[in-house]
């Protein structure tokens, strides 16, 4: 038990280390991409370039640069932005995190509820037109670029039909903190939630339906029917409960990636200052400290989510509990 | 004796002539109406975009890549300026002409630079289709190599490759792609003597292919690992057949199904990724155009001339949907399970 | 008569057309009787049992003929009425007890579920009955076993739990589909003992489906031999073993290793393989593999009485039945 926890911890640290090295290399060692040139500006004089190089420590060996950055990020926590001099990056992330968490949690709730309903309905009516219709709807959801959907939603609710009774409640783009105004928070996020959820409703309903159909041919489903249980009970209590195991692992990863910045396109379109948008800004300014910080934040989330999924596995699957 | 002849006759009439798995899959796919419609749509869109240079000029009468703010078009015999005063009460500022719904002049209107939208859609489609096709192909080749090496060699090689995949998996795909794009977009890529300019389409192709490798490699690896334990591979190894021969003759043909099914799905993912990168203006660089860059152009016009953003978006939805439907049909026809999945 | 099956035909759509998997199968089963259905894999024995249970849900499947259970017609019965019957009056146990339990619930919970699906009793009463049933099935420490997950139990224990679950509502008919195939030999004997004891302790009739003639000899009162979805022979087990009327039955019996006397170096086997349902010959389906095949086999032979059995073969009618076998050791 202790050994497996230790191994798990080791793997986690290894993945975090790997991500930090990967990101570091992308920005500091990609052939032709010199951070000095980026900071000094195009056509900077050689003297400026040299000054910047020394000032930012780009003249030192890569491992030293890497170690110094990690130390500032995790130990002294005083890493500052290259672009807005003096701005500390850790508080900046802590400010953006609630926005992203609000956005992603609401969307997740919507997509889980909707996709379970759609997946179960489709599987129960397998082969019929309802099944085909729902699954085609899911495919459509998967095929819509989220940023474009967001634009169309804005067009309809902010401009064209904003004055109709249907959308007059929609506030302007932006975020309202939950603690300040719960109703305003809800109104500001309702449409971003729905927009972000569309893709995942499509994915999850299709995955769930496929799992449920696959599980139908299992012996235990036949046993359940032979017991005289109703088709709904067989599907929900025996089928859905078993399919939930894959569903949960997918959910853990997707949720973590979104909280870790994967929702940036939605954040950009709806003007929400979340982690994804912050990361994107850091990237476009090539603000290396902020990039490192946001990517590490995102990686920590993914890794935590993996651990939570593993724990949920223990809860959901007794076979894993016994290590079989 | 009679009985025997009867048996012979009936069994030969009922058992279908043995056909190869590919031909059987093809026949099954041909019966799938949705997949056939999707294929027709894809072919039509591809043909329309590829042949754009032949007729786009007749549609637009202008070059889709040069600014045309001072131009005018003929509508019902009258000359109409492409840039028109805004609808607002004070008529402040100029907006490009909206959809005319006439094939002769600015069918779908013009963008903020006065360029004909319909012509740009066709040319942009060429870029989008080219990038997504090449990225999907490259990604699948890379994934096949990684998956087969990891699955077949196993041991330390598999462990290292799998850990690298895990790390790539832990970073949100779009963030990963954006990081790579931003680094290369300013100065391009210098690989020793070779310099790839930042406006070269190879850059988005390689980036998109690279970030999706873990998604495609995982199912390939799983398939190869189960094949390696299969009896015919064990037999070949026991006979001393060299490894590369086993991979080429026994493993590769058996993962082809998985790879083929992945192809349309990867192309759909690549098209979505390309449009996202271009939307953030770090994908296809001006003067090139893709559906993503056109949406980006249309962002500023979204409330006045929404068609500029809506049309390319619809084009993406239609093509990606068709690819997904086709991929679904192919998966059913080839009966390949666990061939990865789409994600954002 | 508890169960009377007449001309049961099950046709499934294969490659775009309906193929009869089971054709005109008829048999009866009395109270407290054990009937064995024997045949090679693919002979339609499992399909027959699933048809009786009403568990064939392949879209486009067609079931015709008659299945009367306690005088009630089951073919075409409304799903809701069938559901009330399943698990309560007709129960079934399956071949592989590993995969037949839902892996994520405890065994006890799954047995409770069946009891509570048919009877309005409290959770704790249901559990008390579950524990008692498990104990009756010879499960040591039944309370603890009820709280375990399927994968935590041995194959034998799982099959006992399966039987306990099937018996939980005192069904009049128990269909056992190869209940011992997945178990090792010693456990096999215990489970067969258990099945034999059911008619005494629970008054149940058993339809035992198996491919093992040895199991039939040990357990069944009467036997039905299926070949390629058709009845080859049916009759009392003793008579059928002593003087098989169908060459297929005889060949099956020849393939059992003798318990006494010198062992043959090689057991006789039947050459060839049974025809696929779609390619079943118009005449006797066994003709292509039969040592006695002759011209009259081109017409499908009807079931005719031959001694105590009914046999679908032309030989008895032609006045040259198969010779009796020496079976002294079998009846022991």
| Mean pLDDT across chain B | 78
Q: Which of C84, C85, C104 sits opposite A241 (nearest CB)?
A: C104
List pLDDT tens digits, range B261-285.
Answer: 889 999 999 999 999 999 888 888 8
DSSP H or E run through B81: strand B78-81
Q: Does C271 touch chain B (CB under 8 A)?
A: no
Whether B10 and C282 lie within 8 Å, measured CB to CB: yes
Q: Which of A225, A241, A319 sits opposite C55 (nearest CB)?
A: A225
Shortest distance, CA A241 to any CA of chain C (angstroms)? 8
B287: cis peptide before it, omega within 30°?
Answer: yes
Task: Check whether residue C195 and residue C297 sit in a common domain.
Answer: yes
Residues of B in contact with C15 (CB under 8 A): 16
Cα–Cα dist C183/C174, whole Å: 19
| pLDDT for residue C331 | 43
Task: Check whether residue C319 and residue C197 sit in a common domain.
Answer: yes
Shortest distance, CA B9 to any CA of chain A (angstroms)? 35
The CB density around residue B259, as the number of other CB atoms within 10 Å, is 21
Task: Check whether residue C213 and residue C323 sit in a common domain.
Answer: yes
Where exactly are the structural domains of chain A?
2-76, 92-321
- A18 backbone dihedrals φ, ψ, rounded to 5°: -60, -45
Q: Which of B3, B15, B16 sits opposite C281 (nearest CB)?
A: B3
Domain covering B37-54+115-341, topology:
MetI-like fold (1.10.3720)
Task: Check whether residue C205 and residue C302 sit in a common domain.
Answer: yes
| Higher pLDDT, residue C139 or B52 | C139
**Banded pLDDT at B342 (limits 50, 70, 90):** very low
| Higher pLDDT, residue A69 or B97 | A69
Looking at C122, C152, C170, which one is the last position of a domain? C170
| Higher pLDDT, residue C113 or A24 | C113
List pLDDT tens digits, range B186-242.
Answer: 666 666 667 777 777 888 899 999 999 988 888 888 888 888 877 788 888 888 888
How far, in Å, are A271, B130, C318 from residue B50 at the CA level? 37, 10, 79
List pLDDT tens digits, range B123-134.
Answer: 889 899 999 999
CATH number of the domain at A92-321, out of 3.40.50.170, 1.10.3720.10, 3.40.50.300, 1.25.40.10? 1.10.3720.10
Task: Check whether residue C233 and residue C256 sit in a common domain.
Answer: yes
Task: Check whether residue C139 and residue C48 sit in a common domain.
Answer: no
| Higher pLDDT, residue B9 or C79 | C79
pLDDT-flagged residues of chain C (< 70): 258-265, 326-332
Whole-prediction pTM: 0.82
Whether C298 and B6 lie within 8 Å, measured CB to CB: yes
| Mean pLDDT across chain A | 84
Q: Which of B174, B183, B316 sits opposite A30 (nearest CB)?
A: B183
What is the number of domains present in chain C? 2
| pLDDT for residue B103 | 62
Task: Check whether residue C197 and residue C300 sit in a common domain.
Answer: yes
List pLDDT tens digits, range A71-121.
Answer: 888 888 777 777 776 778 888 888 898 999 999 999 999 999 999 999 999
Q: Does A291 touch chain B (CB under 8 A)?
A: yes
The residue in chain C having the minimum alpha-carbon distance to the alpha carbon of residue A223 is: C100
Cα–Cα dist B159/A107, whole Å: 35
ipTM: 0.84
Give percent above pLDDT 70 in chain B: 74
**What is the 3 state secondary structure string of chain C?**
CCEEEEEEEEEEEECCEEEEEEEEEEEEECCCCEEEEECCCCCCHHHHHHHHHCCCCCCCCEEEEEEEECCEECCCCCHHHHHHHECCCEEEECCCHHHHCCCCCCHHHHHHHHHHHHCCCCHHHHHHHHHHHHHHCCCCCHHHHHCCCHHHCCHHHHHHHHHHHHHCCCCCEEEEECCCCCCCHHHHHHHHHHHHHHHHHCCCEEEEEECCHHHHHHHCCEEEEEECCEEEEEEEHHHHHHCCCCHHHHHHHHCCCCCCCCCCCCCCCCCCCCCCHHHCCCCCCCHHHCCCCCHHHHCCCCCEEECCEEECCCCCCCCCCCCCCCCCCCCC
CA distance between the termini of chain C: 29
Task: Check whether residue C207 and residue C309 sit in a common domain.
Answer: yes
Confidence check: pLDDT of A287 > 70: yes
Which value, to the nearest 10 degrees, does the dihedral of the CA atoms of residues C202, C203, C206, C212 take? 70
**Banded pLDDT at B70 (limits 50, 70, 90):** low
List pLDDT tens digits, range C61-78.
Answer: 899 999 999 989 999 889
Q: Does A146 touch chain B (CB under 8 A)?
A: yes
DSSP H or E run through A155: none
Looking at C122, C141, C170, which one is the last position of a domain? C170
Give the number of C-alpha atoms closer than 13 A to the C-alpha of residue A272, restricted to the C-beta side: 34
**Banded pLDDT at A291 (limits 50, 70, 90):** confident
C82 Cβ contact partners less than 8 Å away, ≥ 6 residues apart? C54, C74
Residues of C in contact with B15 (CB under 8 A): 278-279
List pLDDT tens digits, range A230-263.
Answer: 888 999 999 998 888 888 878 888 888 888 888 8
A220 Cβ contact partners less than 8 Å away, ≥ 6 residues apart? A238, A242, C99, C100, C101, C102, C103
The residue in chain C having the minimum alpha-carbon distance to the alpha carbon of residue A319 is: C151
Q: Does B183 touch chain A (CB under 8 A)?
A: yes
Q: Does C295 touch chain B (CB under 8 A)?
A: yes
Q: Are C277 and C227 in contact (CB under 8 A)?
A: no
Most confident stretch, A196-210, A256-270, B290-304: A196-210
- Any domain includes C68: no
Residues of C in contact with B16 (CB under 8 A): 15
Task: Check whether residue C199 and residue C229 sit in a common domain.
Answer: yes
Task: Check whether residue C308 and residue C185 sit in a common domain.
Answer: yes
Residues of B in contact with C288 (CB under 8 A): 3-4, 7
Domain that holds residue C107: 96-170
| pLDDT for residue C124 | 92
The CB density around residue A111, as the number of other CB atoms within 10 Å, is 26
Q: Are C233 and C225 in contact (CB under 8 A)?
A: yes
- Any domain includes C143: yes
Return the residue matching tokens 């792609």.
B177
**Banded pLDDT at B6 (limits 50, 70, 90):** very low
What's the CA angle centered on A192, arms A190 and A198, to 5 degrees?
105
- Any domain includes C24: no
Whether B174 and A264 lie within 8 Å, measured CB to CB: yes
Cα–Cα dist C8/C229, whole Å: 10
Residues of B in contact with A291 (CB under 8 A): 179
Q: Does C65 touch chain B (CB under 8 A)?
A: no
B178 Cβ contact partners less than 8 Å away, ≥ 6 residues apart? A264, A280, A283, B277, B280, B282
Where exactly are the structural domains of chain B?
37-54+115-341
Task: Check whether residue C276 and residue C323 sit in a common domain.
Answer: yes
Confidence check: pLDDT of B91 > 80: no
Residues of B in contact with C300 (CB under 8 A): none
Name the β-bridge partners of A202.
Answer: none
Which residues of A lie closer than 8 Å to C, measured between beta carbons? Answer: 127, 218-220, 222-231, 233, 237-238, 241-242, 245, 316-319, 322, 324
Most confident stretch, A31-35, B94-98, B209-213, B232-236: B209-213
Shortest distance, CA A155 to any CA of chain B (angstroms)? 6
Residues of A in contact with B169 (CB under 8 A): 253
**Banded pLDDT at B86 (limits 50, 70, 90):** low
Give percent above pLDDT 70 in chain A: 94
Q: Are A104 and A259 in contact (CB under 8 A)?
A: yes
Q: Which of C85, C86, C102 sits opposite A220 (nearest CB)?
A: C102
């Amino acid at each position: 038990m202790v050994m497996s926890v230790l191994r798990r911890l080791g793997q986690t640290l290894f993945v975090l280390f790997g991500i930090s090295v990967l990101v570091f290399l992308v920005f500091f060692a990609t052939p032709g991409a010199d951070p000095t040139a980026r900071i000094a500006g195009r056509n900077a004089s050689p003297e400026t370039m040299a000054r910047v190089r020394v000032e930012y420590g780009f003249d030192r060996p890569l491992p030293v640069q890497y170690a110094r950055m990690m130390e500032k990020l995790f130990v002294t926590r005083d890493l500052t932005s290259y672009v807005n001099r003096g701005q500390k990056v850790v508080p900046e992330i802590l400010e953006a995190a609630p926005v992203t968490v609000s956005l992603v949690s609401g969307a997740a709730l919507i997509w889980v509820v909707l996709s379970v309903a759609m997946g179960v309905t489709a599987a129960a009516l397998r082969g019929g037109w309802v099944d085909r219709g729902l699954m085609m709807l899911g495919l459509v959801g998967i095929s819509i670029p989220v940023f474009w959907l967001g634009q169309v939603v804005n067009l309809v609710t902010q401009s064209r039909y904003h004055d109709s009774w249907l959308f007059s409640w929609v506030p302007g783009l932006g975020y309202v903190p939950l603690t300040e105004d719960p109703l305003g928070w809800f109104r500001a996020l309702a449409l971003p939630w729905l927009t972000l959820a569309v893709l995942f409703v499509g994915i999850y309903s299709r995955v769930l339906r496929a799992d449920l159909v696959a599980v139908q041919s299992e012996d235990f489903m036949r046993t359940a029917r032979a017991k005289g249980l109703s088709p709904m009970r067989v599907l929900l209590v025996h089928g859905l409960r078993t399919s939930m195991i894959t569903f949960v692992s997918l959910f853990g990863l997707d949720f973590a990636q979104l909280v870790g910045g994967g929702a940036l396109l939605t954040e950009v379109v709806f003007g929400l200052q979340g982690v994804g948008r912050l990361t994107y800004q850091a990237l476009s300014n090539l603000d290396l400290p902020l990039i490192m910080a946001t990517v590490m934040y995102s990686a920590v989330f993914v890794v935590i989510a993996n651990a939570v999924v593993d724990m949920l596995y223990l809860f959901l699957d007794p076979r894993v509990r016994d290590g079989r | 004796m009679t009985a025997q002849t009867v048996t012979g006759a009936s069994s030969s009439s009922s058992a279908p002539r043995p056909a190869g798995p590919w031909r059987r899959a093809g026949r099954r796919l041909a019966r799938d109406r949705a997949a056939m419609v999707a294929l027709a749509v894809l072919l039509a869109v591809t043909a329309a975009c590829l042949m754009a240079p032949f007729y786009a000029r007749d549609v637009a009468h202008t070059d889709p890549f040069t600014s045309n703010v001072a131009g005018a078009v003929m509508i019902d015999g009258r000359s109409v300026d492409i840039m028109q005063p805004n609808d607002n009460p004070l008529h402040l500022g100029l907006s490009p002409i909206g959809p005319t719904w006439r094939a002769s002049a600015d069918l779908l209107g013009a963008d903020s630079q006065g360029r004909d939208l319909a012509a740009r859609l066709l040319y942009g489609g060429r870029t989008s289709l080219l990038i997504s096709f090449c990225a999907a192909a490259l990604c699948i080749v890379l994934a096949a190599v990684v998956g087969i090496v990891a699955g077949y060699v196993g041991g330390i090689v598999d462990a290292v490759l799998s850990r690298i995949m895990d790390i790539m998996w832990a970073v949100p795909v779009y963030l990963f792609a954006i990081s790579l794009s931003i680094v290369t977009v300013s100065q391009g890529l210098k690989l020793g003597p070779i310099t790839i300019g930042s406006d070269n389409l190879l850059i988005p192709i390689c980036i998109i292919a690279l970030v999706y490798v873990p998604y495609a490699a995982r199912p390939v690896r799983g398939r190869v690992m189960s094949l390696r334990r299969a009896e015919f591979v064990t037999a070949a190894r026991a006979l001393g057949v060299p490894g590369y021969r086993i991979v080429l003759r026994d493993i590769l043909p058996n993962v082809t199904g998985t790879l083929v099914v992945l192809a349309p799905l990867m192309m759909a993912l690549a098209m979505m990724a390309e449009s996202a990168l271009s939307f953030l203006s770090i994908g296809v660089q001006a003067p090139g155009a893709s559906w993503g860059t056109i949406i980006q152009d249309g962002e500023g016009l979204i409330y006045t001339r929404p068609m500029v953003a809506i049309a390319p978006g619809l084009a993406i939805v239609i093509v990606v949907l068709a690819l997904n439907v086709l991929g679904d049909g192919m998966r059913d026809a080839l009966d390949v399970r666990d061939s990865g999945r789409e994600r954002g | 008569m508890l169960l009377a099956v007449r001309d049961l035909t099950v046709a499934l759509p294969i490659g775009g057309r309906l193929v009869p998997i089971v054709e005109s199968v008829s048999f009866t089963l009395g109270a407290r009787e054990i009937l064995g259905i024997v045949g090679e894999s693919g002979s339609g024995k499992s399909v027959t049992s699933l048809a009786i249970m009403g568990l064939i849900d392949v879209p486009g499947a067609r079931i015709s003929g008659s299945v009367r259970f306690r005088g009630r017609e089951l073919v075409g019965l409304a799903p809701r009425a069938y559901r009330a019957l399943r698990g309560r009056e007709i129960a079934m146990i399956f071949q592989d007890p590993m995969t037949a339990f839902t892996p994520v619930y405890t065994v006890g919970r799954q047995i409770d579920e069946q009891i509570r699906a048919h009877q309005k009793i409290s959770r704790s009463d249901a559990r008390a009955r579950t524990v008692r049933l498990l104990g009756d099935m010879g499960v040591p420490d039944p309370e603890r076993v009820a709280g375990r997950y399927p994968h935590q139990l041995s194959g034998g224990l799982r099959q006992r739990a399966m039987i306990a679950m099937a018996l939980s509502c005192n069904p009049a008919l128990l269909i056992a589909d190869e209940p011992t195939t997945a178990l090792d030999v010693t456990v096999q004997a215990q489970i067969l003992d258990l099945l034999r004891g059911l008619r005494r302790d629970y008054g149940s009739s058993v339809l035992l489906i198996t491919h093992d003639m040895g199991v039939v000899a040990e357990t069944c009162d009467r036997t039905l031999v299926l070949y390629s979805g058709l009845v080859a022979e049916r009759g009392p087990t003793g008579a059928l073993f002593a003087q098989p009327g169908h060459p297929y039955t005889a060949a099956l019996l020849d393939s059992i290793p003798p318990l006494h006397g010198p062992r043959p170096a090689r057991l006789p086997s039947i050459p060839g393989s049974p025809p696929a349902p779609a390619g079943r010959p118009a005449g006797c389906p066994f003709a292509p593999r039969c040592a006695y095949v002759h011209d009259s086999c081109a017409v499908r032979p009807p079931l005719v009485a031959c001694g105590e059995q009914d046999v679908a073969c032309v030989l008895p009618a032609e006045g040259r039945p198969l010779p009796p076998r020496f079976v002294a050791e079998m009846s022991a």
